[in-house]
Amino acid sequence: MSTPRPQLVVMKFGGTSVEDAAAIRRTAEIVRGRRARGLRAIVVVSAMARVTDTLLAAAAAAGVGDKHGALALSARLRSRHLDTARDLVHGIELSTLLGTVQHEFDALDDLLRGISAVGELTPRTTDLVLSFGERLSSVVVAAAFALAGLEGAHLDARDCIITDNSYGKAVPQEALIEQALLKHALPLVERDLTPVMGGFIGSNEAGITTTLGRGGSDFSAALVGGALHAGAIEIWTDVNGIMTTDPRICPDALRVKTVSFEEAAELAYFGAKVLHPATILPAVQKNIPVFVLNSRNAANEGTRITAVAPPCRSPFKCIAVKKRLTIVDIVASRMLMSHGYLKAVFDVFDRHRVAIDMVSTSEVSISVTVDTSEHLPLIAEDLKRIADVKYESGKALVCLVGEDIRGHAGISGKVFTAIEHINVRMISQGASEINMSFMIEEDDAAEAIRSLHRRFFSDPDGEIFDLDARANTAGAPPVHMPAVAVQ
């Protein structure tokens, strides 16, 4: 295990925190604040806001032979990056930066032409196309930081984040990552430079570009923080940390000042836009606190995520909701309880690499929920060999999370009384005892959230919730990314 480095902070800035020159300037000031406290920072950046989506669209267009469509998308990205560079950097540094940006876009265009010529898009090539987002943002931010007196130094994440070959969702190789960071990143930190690297991207041992999956920049930050045993990992986004629920649905939502790793892990699935679930792991393993902070309101304390949360008077910390889910009902009257049957069912989902969110069983049926409908026809076909299957989309999962559920008797009674006017399809309370989930129609979700919030957060505990700033977003309403996002 590496030596703890309490002075080192890994700061991850999401797409909105680097979306244009103004955002990058704010980001620079935040980093300056950390350096002024005597901390050393490694900065991990996402692609500029919406760039990954555009790259994905360009790759898809190229994949069906639409070369002009693909190149038009890339041209728009090119001017956006060049404009941002011109706004932030000047003099000789600007010509170097523009040269690098042009060079990257030329490479991207070559690649898009190649894909359209072949008319085939593989996962490996998709990763390569997507990597340009973080390659470019990190180059621009590093140059801006260099000029802003922050000693910014670009670090190619692909030299450090070593993964396996699972394109699209590559698995990090932590021992190799640690070695690579000690070799490439630490010497920069020791020279008091601020390394700036792209999140989300990596490479396999053969040097071929991979990605960690959408939203993967948080994961990158946690991997870097974990490998170098940083004092803290800061996830800078555009909300004031984790909220009790989505403030767009419920204006009374409160900032949660502190949650445990376990609670955050439960929530991460719902607030994937704020915190990648896997962010938690490399940090938990080394007991490194993770902060979720707002780059538009840097003075706000955000949410601190720690191994053990202080006790809270109310049973729940958050009410999360995830929409666009599908319930799959699997009915097999004779076989359900027979040995190996559940395994056979789960194996089918596994073969199609579809994750199951929630499971409930009765004597004759199993219901599971999934958040994709993409592979369902094929899954249903496979399942039909062993059961009758039907599936229904348009469902929402509501999830109440809190470590203090444990100590409260009669909780489910209170929950279901609060929403007695709403039809509940499936209920689950996980073994972790910190999560109560149920499935309803998507159209009932907003009403259910508001009723539950009224019931459980009308007298909130001031130690845990920020009572001063009810859903305060100081300057920026959380339009893009509520901490508990409605997907």
Site of interaction with ligand ASP (CB under 6 A): 14-15, 46-47, 52, 133, 199-200, 214-217
Binding partner of residue 199 among Mg ion, ligand ASP, none, CB cut-off 5 to 8 Å per kind? ligand ASP
What's the number of CA atoms in the CB half-sphere (13 Å) around residue 192? 6
How far, CA to CA in Å, does 445 sit from each of 16, 68, 419, 428, 460? 27, 42, 10, 17, 22
Helix (H) or strand (E) holding 5: strand 5-13
Report the distance separating Cα 225 and Cα 232, nearest Å.
7
Q: Which long-range contacts (CB under 8 A, 24 or more apart) does 181-188 make?
A: 181/224, 181/227, 181/228, 182/2, 182/228, 184/155, 184/159, 184/160, 185/42, 185/155, 185/160, 185/224, 185/228, 186/228, 188/153, 188/155
Closest approach of Cβ 77 to ligand ASP, in Å? Answer: 13
Neighbouring C-beta atoms of residue 32, cutoff 10 Å: 15
Q: Which is nearer to Mg ion, 411 or 485 (CB)?
A: 485
Q: Which is nearer to ligand ASP, 14 or 172 (CB)?
A: 14
Q: Of 133, 199, 202, 215, which one interacts with Mg ion (CB under 5 A)?
A: 215
Residues in contact with 482: Cβ distance below 8 Å, sequence separation at least 6, in sequence order: 239, 243, 246, 247, 248, 253, 271, 273, 274
Q: Which is nearer to Mg ion, 14 or 315 (CB)?
A: 14
Q: Which is nearer to ligand ASP, 196 or 358 (CB)?
A: 196
Closest approach of Cβ 447 to ligand ASP, in Å? Answer: 31
Compute φ and ψ for 465, nearest 5 degrees.
-115, 145
Closest approach of Cβ 400 to ligand ASP, in Å? Answer: 27
Q: Which is nearer to Mg ion, 215 or 315 (CB)?
A: 215
Binding partner of residue 460 among Mg ion, ligand ASP, none, CB cut-off 5 to 8 Å per kind? none
Closest approach of Cβ 283 to ligand ASP, in Å? Answer: 16
How far, CA to CA in Å, does 313 sit from each of 90, 144, 260, 407, 417? 54, 46, 15, 10, 20
Q: Which is nearer to ligand ASP, 44 or 249 (CB)?
A: 44
Binding partner of residue 133 among ligand ASP, Mg ion, none, CB cut-off 5 to 8 Å per kind? ligand ASP
Binding partner of residue 194 among Mg ion, ligand ASP, none, CB cut-off 5 to 8 Å per kind? none
Question: Is residue 11 exposed (0-12), middle (13-18) or buried (19+ Cβ within 10 Å)?
Answer: buried
Q: Which is nearer to ligand ASP, 52 or 240 (CB)?
A: 52
Report the distance separating Cα 53 and Cα 59, nearest Å.
10
Closest approach of Cβ 371 to ligand ASP, in Å? Answer: 16
Q: Which is nearer to ligand ASP, 108 or 419 (CB)?
A: 108
Closest approach of Cβ 238 to Mg ion, in Å? Answer: 10
Neighbouring C-beta atoms of residue 115, cutoff 10 Å: 26
Q: Which is nearer to ligand ASP, 268 or 398 (CB)?
A: 268
Closest approach of Cβ 218 to ligand ASP, in Å? Answer: 6
Q: Spell out, one character per residue from 2 to 21, where the chain touches Mg ion: x when CB under 5 A holds, - when not.
A: ------------x-------
Please report the beta strands in 27-79, taking only residues with DSSP state E, as ranges in sequence order. Answer: 40-45
Q: Are 282 and 227 in contact (CB under 8 A)?
A: yes
Binding partner of residue 63 among Mg ion, ligand ASP, none, CB cut-off 5 to 8 Å per kind? none
Q: Spell out, one character per residue from 165 to 204, where the chain touches Mg ion: x when CB under 5 A holds, - when not.
A: ----------------------------------------
Binding partner of residue 297 among Mg ion, ligand ASP, none, CB cut-off 5 to 8 Å per kind? none
Closest approach of Cβ 190 to Mg ion, in Å? Answer: 29
Place of tokens 């955050």: 264
Q: Are 61 and 73 in contact (CB under 8 A)?
A: yes
List of residues contacting Mg ion (CB under 5 A): 14, 215
